[in-house]
A and B are shown apart, each in its own frame.
Chain A
Amino acid sequence: MVFNSGAFLAFFIVFFPLYGWVCRKQNVTIRNALLLAGSYLFYGWWDWRFLGLLFFSSTMDYMVGLQLHQSKHEQTRKRWLWLSVGLNVSLLGFFKYFNFFIGSFVHLMGVWNIPVSVPMLHIILPVGISFYTFQSLSYTIEIYRKRMEPTRNYLTILAYVSFFPQLVAGPIERAWNLLPQFSHIKKLSYGDAVQGLQLMLWGFFKKVVIADNLALLADAVFEPGASFQSFTVFIGALCFTFQIYADFSGYSDIARGVARLLGFDLMINFQSPYFSTSLTEFWHRWHISLSTWFRDYVYIPLGGSHHGTFATYRNLLLTFLLSGLWHGANITFALWGGMHGLLLCAEKFTGLKSGYKAAVPVVLLVVCTLWIPFRATDIAHTTQLFDQLFACTFSGEELRQLFLQVFPALKGFVWAITFAIFMLIDLALYKCQLHHFFEQHSRLMRFALYYFMLLSILLLSNLHIKPYFIYFQF
């Protein structure tokens, strides 16, 4: 089920009042049971066969969590931890990377002229597996580190791992933040409800108005085999840059808004990353839940920056390579992650500091260029795109024709104004949260902004496109 679909609308219209009624009874067990049922329905709507996987992952980590807490010997505790890590990573590895590694192995053998025949399996990638396995792992790792105690309530763990607002595309919550929220029922205040609705409206606006319209241009430019002038490729890359941001941050905001309506606080996942003044700052503002997960569970355990310069660069590079690979079983993702890692090392090496506003367009340009391998289908496609980009050719007419194919003239003009307003709001959110931004304005201005977003959704949405979110493929 995706947020911008009729199915979710129907689901939430029924679920929310029922949830509110259950919460008024102040019975946590029934509330969690309802959340679990709703979450499994939400996930099972895509494919009920993979509910078993979700259940297995949750159950396994529940049992491991209890064992970790009971075991006193460090060696035993480590074994339990590695069991959890091993099983979760194996699940992820099998569903996501099996064919990739088999294919890479066969290719490598081919390079050495060793014929190998290994069957490729037709494996369906379960939606959200990259997110919920990491969230589940966070639980066992934090218990191992003795930062929290395990829950003895099985229902709580099941509900925590499957919590539907953030199940399929994050934010990847930390157990110490989200799990305790399942132990009590927070009374929904009017203010909380308004904040939740603001987040949802802003999220839908970003997804439906900004991301889905930019996708039309970006998809045309990134079509494999398509050939465009450099400037068109650059504009296509720029479109994808903002598409992926609006798409993913839009999803995160809708997730946070829905969770807020249910009385839960999820972490902020994006904070105006394209106004960053350095790549380091960018990674403090982009997909925060994932980057902090990798920082806390990969970078720091590897040694972080505490074992000398070489080790720091090595740890940084490894972390970003893994982070790239997390996105998908394709060498282009590793390339994307690796290049970010290298540039971050370069920033550290040169001692470049954040804070110079003039650096904002430079950072944006770098990030935009690095999105090219991320979006490309394979290395050959990446090479082709970079060749076109660095050929330094320009055709305004080509770009104009492409633009008109996608946007009728008047719609394009209206959309451009809407995009400018979106960027202004995003700039305002660089230093504050959404509800603070709205509180700073008069009631009239707030409602004007609400209606602006709603009307934009009504007039600029592409309803003939099947609803999807980019990060569902991860």
Chain B
Amino acid sequence: MRQLYIRILIFIAPLLVLLILWPADERLRFLNMKDDCAGHAQWLHDRIACNTAPADIVFLGSSHSFNAIDDGFITGKIGNKQALNLGYCRLGTNLYLPIIRKLLAEKNPQKVVFEVREFEPSYSHPMFPYFAQQKDVITAWPILHPDYFSDLYIHFTYKTELIQQQIFRSAPATKISTYPYGHVPSAGVADSVDLHRKVNEKNMAMKTPERFKSLKLLFPAHYLREVTALCKAAGAEVYFLYLPGYASPMAEPGESEFYRQMGQLLIPPADIFQEPTYWFDEEHLNEKGSRILSEWLAEELK
């Protein structure tokens, strides 16, 4: 049996080596991601790698960030620094790593602001295997990474698709995006009754037993440490911006001490999160709320 396994491994080794060593086209990688956030991955790549405009103050986070932070407005307010919102939808702290690596390879940010919420999500971002470089997927924590094997599978099947597109030149041609800002405004105001109902449901579900909190933090904490170390090595100041949902019962994030150990924790004025007219839904600020928050952020980050 052992001989069989060894022979199988030797047999498939050349193809595995080919798959691992084949240099996938970087732009192509960001063009065709399955379940991409409305083509936002392509914009992200183009803004970092193709657009020569600087990125002095960079915001990373989820759709909370790309709805809430008006980087164009902040750039205008501050004047001498270019703000850039690199928020990407859905949650998963590990997505920060491939974005930060890409950002630091191409730009020289002075300040990097990471979105934090009531609690860090303890799961992998569904787009991590698409965004991440091969070595980051392979070396991702297998022990506390619940999606390690599925991320490996997704990463390499996606890479196989990219190889096919490269060889057969079958990827659709797309123009490089030149838009400098990542803010996605949300027009409209949430229905107040619906808002309160959803907030109550969410707050009920938020209670995490104390004994599990440190365990749940292990996976995201690993990535937060890594990205803050990379930022500091590149000379960038690290901030954590608290962006809870509407009417969150928590004035500070659950892991505030942890964030303060690694950087500055920014907590916006509580009234932003209590005023229903600032909200598009229970998780996302609308244009009005975004403007209020961005004014405050511009003052804090000048």
Contacts and interface: CB of A to CB of B under 8 A. Distances in A.
Interface in A1-35: 6, 9-10, 17, 20
Given A6-B157, A463-B157, 13 more contacts: A6-B149, A6-B153, A17-B1, A410-B167, A410-B169, A411-B164, A455-B15, A458-B19, A458-B160, A459-B164, A463-B161, A464-B34, A464-B161
Contacts of B15: 451, 454-455, 458
A301 interface: no
B4 A461 contact: no
A9 B153 contact: yes
A461 B160 contact: yes
A450 B11 contact: yes
A414 B168 CA distance: 9
9 contacts: A6-B149, A6-B157, A190-B4, A410-B167, A410-B168, A411-B170, A451-B14, A454-B12, A463-B158
B172 to A, nearest CB: 10
Interface string A404-438: 00001011001000000000000000000000000
Nearest to B12: A454
A411 B160 CA distance: 14
Contacts of B164: 411, 459-461
B8 interface: yes
A25 B161 CA distance: 43
Interface in B1-27: 1, 3-4, 8, 11-12, 14-15, 19
Interface string B164-204: 10011110000000000000000000000000000000000
A414 B169 CA distance: 13
B264 interface: no
B161 A10 contact: no
A197 B8 contact: yes
Contacts of B169: 408, 410
B272 interface: no
Contacts of B49: none
A130 B31 CA distance: 43
A259 interface: no
Contacts of A454: 12, 15
A359 interface: no
Given A408-B170, A459-B163, A10 B34 contact: no
B274 interface: no
Closest 7 CB pairs of A and B: A408-B170, A411-B168, A6-B153, A463-B157, A410-B168, A463-B161, A20-B1
Interface in A44-74: none
Contacts of A17: 1
A402 interface: no
Contacts of A37: none
A125 interface: no
B3 A190 contact: yes
A360 interface: no
A365 interface: no
A188 interface: yes
B167 to A, nearest CB: 6
B150 interface: yes
Contacts of B4: 190, 193
A166 B150 CA distance: 26
Contacts of B168: 408, 410-411, 414, 459
Nearest to B171: A408
Contacts of B160: 458, 461, 463
A121 to B, nearest CB: 33
B154 to A, nearest CB: 8
Interface string A432-466: 00000000000000000011001100111101100
B25 to A, nearest CB: 16
A461 B162 CA distance: 12
B149 A10 contact: yes
Contacts of B3: 190
Contacts of B158: 463
Contacts of A411: 164, 168, 170
Contacts of B11: 450
A99 B161 CA distance: 41
Contacts of B170: 408, 410-411
Nearest to A10: B149
A455 B163 CA distance: 12
Nearest to A455: B15
Nearest to B168: A411
A414 B164 CA distance: 12
Nearest to A459: B164
Contacts of A464: 34, 161
Contacts of A459: 163-164, 167-168
Contacts of B1: 17, 20, 188
Contacts of B157: 6, 463
B149 to A, nearest CB: 6
A10 to B, nearest CB: 6
A333 B14 CA distance: 46
Contacts of A463: 157-158, 160-161
Contacts of A455: 15
A450 to B, nearest CB: 7
Counting chain A CB atoms within 10 Å of each CB, the highest count among B3, B19, B164, B169 belongs to B164
Contacts of B8: 197
A448 to B, nearest CB: 13
A146 B169 CA distance: 63
A200 to B, nearest CB: 11
B173 to A, nearest CB: 12
Counting chain A CB atoms within 10 Å of each CB, the highest count among B1, B34, B161 belongs to B1
Contacts of B14: 451
A411 B154 CA distance: 23
Interface string B259-280: 0000000000000000000000
Interface string B210-240: 0000000000000000000000000000000
A5 B224 CA distance: 33
A4 B249 CA distance: 47
B9 to A, nearest CB: 12
